[in-house]
Amino acid sequence: MWVTASITMSHPRWLPGWLECTSGEARGRIFRKRRPVRSQSAVSASFLRRSTERAISSLPRAGRPRGERTIRRPTRGQTGVGPTTALPLISAGGHLRLESSLRLAAPAKDAAASGGRRESAMRILVCIGVIAAALAIPALGLAASPPQAVMTALDNPRGLAWGPEGALYVAEAGRGGPGVCVPAPDAPPPAVRCYGATGAVSRLWHGVQEQVVTGLPSLAFMPAGDTAAGPQHVSFQGRGGLFVTIGCSCNKATPTGALLDGLGFGYLLKASASGNTRPIADVARYEAEANPDGGLIDSNPYGLLALPGHRLATDAGGNSLVDVSANGDVATVATFPKAPVPGPFGLRDAVPTGVVVGPDSAYYVSTLTGFPFTAGTASVYRVVPGQAPTLYAWNLSALTDLAFGPDGSLYVLQHGSAIPGVPFPFAGPGAIWRVPPGGGGTSTLVAGGLPRATGLVLGADGALYVSVNGASAGNGAVWRIEP
């Protein structure tokens, strides 16, 4: 069986085009429909998921399809997928509403096979579902090859950095533990997160993955250990100069904040080659005392950039970029304005995340934005000390990190995407986008289908390395992606 679908794509990052799916050897056209499709439109992803699940469950195992589907003249964001790949992609990003039933007229030789008619029907649903996934946050993206997992079994992995020896390091926010529990700031009462010294920094060196710094503070929802606060980012300055931010989302002027202070949250740490750590600066205390943005006191040290003689850290809770001197003094470099959000939510916090140095020696900071994390409201700011930050790139969504390429392009990491009708704002996949040199409001998809993406670095091999499943314990990973 094969399907031809004429799709009018209204997302500004794609042009109208044709897409054909082929499956099997039958020669009958069974579905043809022209319909506008909107990225993040109010159509049902669950329809595709449920339909495909029903089709799969009704098949005898011997009749289930094998092999690859072929995508002819692919649209942007789509190459080829197999049946085992398609289902999670549909459930993650499908947004195509089907308003007419599909009629199947399989040849006799197909119908005679075990489950032949059901197999063809399932292939139709899979093919249409993959078309839909390609038009939302694309599930496969434009990567030259499938992502390769280079690190696995991580606990809430976050920021990445290359060490001076060429090893890859990742901050693990841990999985919490059986210790003291405190109210969770990002969930309604009586939700709590509980403490454990399970935060860590892991290293990949010559193909061997190991934890090189352990015993760091971690708060997580128990017993799963998900959505942890703990080590957020890592950065190096020379050999033996490993620095780590420890997040908290706290106000140290409150009793809960004082408790977290005693447990080691809200600090910038330095780790020795032997894995021992010592505090360099109390970033959360600075937010409580100086309150650079003048808003509610809330500190969550997140992004980190170690430079000769000083360190830069983003405070995602305090909406600021701070500088930490060699002797631990903290000073404000910049604060970031609230982002206008359509609808009843008004202005939302910028929530700065990643920080890098650009080709022009200025600092560049990505923003996540606050709830409801509306698509298109995140930005990248260019920061020159002593000047107000200026917009460099916009029309982006829920950014957690960024990295410059050798040609001056900026790669930005999108944490996740909303699915209409699904309450959790990051139900859909994340993505990597390329902003052209000079910035602006237009970006190009590099790779999609990245679950809860949190950290991004560019390798010397030209590949992008991204930490995924960054809010889960045990199944976090680092993927290598060839752009």
My answer on whether 243 and 373 are in the same domain is yes
Write the single-letter amino acid at 206.
Answer: H
My answer on whether 111 and 165 are in the same domain is no
Q: Answer yes or no: is 180 within a domain.
A: yes
The domain boundary residue, chosen from 101, 135, 169 = 135
My answer on whether 61 and 112 are in the same domain is yes
What integer pLDDT is reported at residue 428 of this predicted model?
A: 78
Token readout for 447 is 């790779």
Domain of 201 in residue numbering reads as: 148-481
Q: pLDDT of 99-120, one tens digit each? A: 222 222 333 333 333 333 332 2
Q: Answer yes or no: is 10 within a domain.
A: yes
Q: Answer yes or no: is 475 within a domain.
A: yes
Q: Answer yes or no: is 140 within a domain.
A: no
My answer on whether 302 and 442 are in the same domain is yes
Q: Answer yes or no: is 143 within a domain.
A: no
Phi and psi of 452, rounded to 5°? Answer: 45, 60
State how far the Cα of 300 lies from the Cα of 263, in Å rounded to an integer: 15
My answer on whether 259 and 156 are in the same domain is yes
My answer on whether 268 and 336 are in the same domain is yes
What integer pLDDT is reported at residue 97 of this predicted model?
A: 25
Phi and psi of 181, rounded to 5°? Answer: -115, 145
Give the single-character DSSP code of 296.
Answer: S
CATH number of domain containing 176: 2.120.10.30
Task: Kindly list the averaged pLDDT for each block of 10 residues, start to end, along the chain of length 483.
Answer: 27 26 29 32 38 42 36 32 29 27 31 33 28 34 78 98 97 97 83 95 97 98 95 91 94 90 95 93 96 94 97 97 97 93 79 98 96 88 97 96 98 88 74 97 95 97 97 97 93
State how far the Cα of 322 lies from the Cα of 332, in Å rounded to an integer: 5
Q: pLDDT of 157-170, one tens digit each? A: 999 999 999 999 99
Give the single-character DSSP code of 4.
Answer: E
My answer on whether 123 and 222 are in the same domain is no
Q: How many domains does the chain have?
A: 2
188 burial type by CB count under 10 A (0-12 exposed, 13-18 middle, 19+ buried): exposed
My answer on whether 279 and 214 are in the same domain is yes
The domain boundary residue, chosen from 135, 166, 197 = 135
My answer on whether 259 and 315 are in the same domain is yes
My answer on whether 319 and 189 are in the same domain is yes
Residues of 120-155 as b/e, b for ≥16 C-beta within 10 angstroms? Answer: bbbbbbbbbbbbbbbbbbbbbbbbeeebeebbeebb
Query: Are residues 398 and 417 in contact, defined by beta-carbon separation less than 8 angstroms?
Result: yes
State how far the Cα of 95 lies from the Cα of 75, in Å rounded to an integer: 15
State how far the Cα of 268 lies from the Cα of 312, in Å rounded to an integer: 10
Q: Answer yes or no: is 176 within a domain.
A: yes
Coil, helix or strand for 380?
Answer: strand
My answer on whether 76 and 204 are in the same domain is no
Token readout for 478 is 């680092």
My answer on whether 167 and 119 are in the same domain is no
The domain boundary residue, chosen from 135, 161, 195 = 135
Q: Answer yes or no: is 468 within a domain.
A: yes
What integer pLDDT is reported at residue 425 of this predicted model?
A: 66
Query: Are residues 21 and 69 in contact, defined by beta-carbon separation less than 8 angstroms?
Result: yes
pTM of the model: 0.72
End-to-end CA distance of the chain: 32
Q: Answer yes or no: is 444 within a domain.
A: yes
